[in-house]
Structure 1
Amino acid sequence: MDATERIQAASQFLLQSPPGEINDVLNDIRNIISDDDLLQEGIQPALREYNIEQFTVVDVPETNYQSIISEVARIGPVSEDSEEESQERFLDPRSKLSFVFDHLSLEASDPQPIQPNEEHEHVRSALEASALNYLKAHFTDGVTAVFSPKGESTHYVIQVVANKYNPTNFWSGRWRSEYTVDLTTAQVKGKVLINVHYYEQGNVQLATTHTVSFELPPAIPSLPSNTAASKILALIEEEERKYQISLNETYQEMGEKTFKGLRRALPLTRQKLDWDKVLGYKLGAELSGTNKNNFSSS
């Protein structure tokens, strides 16, 4: 396998990194590539894709909070004429700042003020305030960002991301949700993405995608911005509540029915297998002294 093929393989590993574990994956593949300069240059596109897709959070310069790196936050270069400012930039609508984001160090730099669309800013800021209240109620360590429309559109995009990393207990998880609110058609469309990784003496990953679509009551678009925003977030909250209930019911059923159906309650010997001692068995010696007619793996 040549260097190009190794970089391509490394990029695929990075894109599949569980929440909070991309640095661990990166450190592992460094030993495979054995060329830091080549690795850093080759994996930049994969890191960029990962950070945008996973709603990576970043400390916003000159503020005391974080914002979200995502496709809707991407605004491109501020100026095509200046080589210094030709780098890709991202927007934090809350502070009305754009910044350059380093996809390797996960740091923001060069903050620049951005003039918002004044026609839509009052609605955007009202949705932001309601989203922040929703965050405090349900996502203690979460981050949210609300983006206003471009041009004459009346679309507003609400994004939420919450990360939980617990390496001591061998698990990590990430919640991402994104909703597009269209006040012209009075519709909300969105999705919820959940990734969980549990890796104590094994490797189990959960990845779910749930789509959301509902109509707003006819009166909402004509309500004052703060009232309308509060009602919209209440509807989103209800949709997410129902989804979480359905997830709980699904996993309870899997534990009680699905997993039990994958194996017999007892092997043919009619004796329970002590799973805690499986790794300690000397299989060669055990199997050689076992009557094959009475042995069956479960």
Structure 2
Amino acid sequence: MALDERIQAASNFLLQSPPGEINDVLNDVRNIISDDDLLKNGITPALAEYNLAQFIVVDVPGADHQSIISEAARVPAEEGAEETEQRFLDPRSKTSFVFNHLDLEASDPKTVDPAPDSEPFRQALETAVTTYLTAHFPDGVGSVFATPGAPNRFIIQIVANKYNPTNYWSGRWRSEYTVDLGDNTVTGRILVNVHYYEQGNVQLATTHEVSLTLPPAVVTSTPASAASKILALIVDQEGHYQTSLNETYHEMGEKTFKGLRRALPLTRQKIDWDKVLGYKLGAELTSSKGVFGNA
């Protein structure tokens, strides 16, 4: 396999990495390339794509919270900036920072002045999101972005990770919503990824689309009241989706998985394993006897 084909294969493996396991995958694909410098240069675009899509979180320099790395957070690249050092916005601390996709660290913070037309409502949404996370996702991270050039449009992003390598599972919840006060709509999606790998390899990847129409009374109320009501609608949607997932898991355990295996063999009788061992031993003795008889 040519070198560029091996790099492409390594990149594809990285893009399919389960939550929290990209370093394990990276260590495995090192054997495919056998050259760390070439590997680093070749997979950087794939790492950047993965980090943005998976809502990787990073400690914000000079702050006591984390922020989400995503397309919504990306600041237009400055001329001459390296590909591994893109700049991202943390609207909560009103700073931007350089994020290195290889070492997953933030640096070089700079103060950013928010748009005065959208900041009051953005802050109200941020407060409501923080309250929601505290109640339902204690380890989750949320970011709320104003859309440049569209003061009535906002993007809410939420991510929560659970890594339990001791028990061979990991999971990630991501949700993203666009709140458009001009159209009185909330649209978005929920993405769930779970990986179980004890004596096997099973992955779950689901996507749930959300589309809501806001009552006029919500949009015309105060920012704090409107943000609280919008988050209540989102909470209701996410709660229903979690319930549906739980019901699906239960049904799969009771029906689907049982349907994949035959309860009884074709004889419609349970297997007597002691007899099976006896049959095997007898067959081996017969085979050995035949060999000695031909000698």
TM-score, structure 1 length as denominator? 0.89
Write out aligned runs for 1:36-115 (5 A). Answer: 36-77=36-77, 79-80=78-79, 83=80, 87-115=85-113
Name the CA distance, whole Å, in 2 between partners of 1:185 and 1:39: 46
Q: CA deviation at 1:114?
A: 0.9
Name the CA distance, whole Å, in 2 between partners of 1:41 and 1:121: 39
Name the CA distance, whole Å, in 1 between partners of 2:197 and 2:40: 27
Name the CA distance, whole Å, in 1 between partners of 2:282 and 2:76: 64
Q: 2:131 aligns with which of 130, 133, 136?
A: 133
The corresponding residue for 1:226 is 224
The corresponding residue for 2:248 is 250
Distance change >3 Å, CA 85–CA 11, structure 1 → 2: closer
Q: Deviations over 1:236-269 (max 9, x none)?
A: 0000111111111111111111111112112235
Question: Matched residues, percent identical?
Answer: 65
The corresponding residue for 1:296 is none
Distance change >3 Å, CA 84–CA 51, structure 1 → 2: closer
Contact 2:178 2:187 in 1 (8 A): yes
Contact 2:144 2:156 in 1 (8 A): yes
Question: Structure 1: which amino acid aligns with 2:75?
Answer: I
Distance change >3 Å, CA 50–CA 84, structure 1 → 2: closer
Q: Deviations over 1:183-240 (max 9, x none)?
A: 1111100100000000000000000000000111110111111111011101100001
The corresponding residue for 2:5 is 5
- 5+ residue gaps, structure 1, are 275-280, 290-298
TM-score, structure 2 length as denominator? 0.90
Distance change >3 Å, CA 123–CA 39, structure 1 → 2: same
Question: 160-169 or 150-159: which moved more?
Answer: 150-159
Distance change >3 Å, CA 94–CA 286, structure 1 → 2: farther
- Select the structure of larger CA radius of gyration: 2
Question: Structure 2: which amino acid aligns with 1:63?
Answer: A
Q: CA deviation at 1:145?
A: 0.1
Name the CA distance, whole Å, in 2 between partners of 1:140 and 1:287: 61
Name the CA distance, whole Å, in 1 between partners of 2:139 and 2:271: 43
1:184 aligned onto 2:197 = no
Name the CA distance, whole Å, in 1 between partners of 2:81 and 2:12: 31
> How many residues in Structure 1 have an aligned counterpart in Structure 2?
279
Q: CA deviation at 1:100?
A: 0.9
The corresponding residue for 1:201 is 199
CA-based RMSD of the aligned residues comes to 2.1
The corresponding residue for 1:293 is none
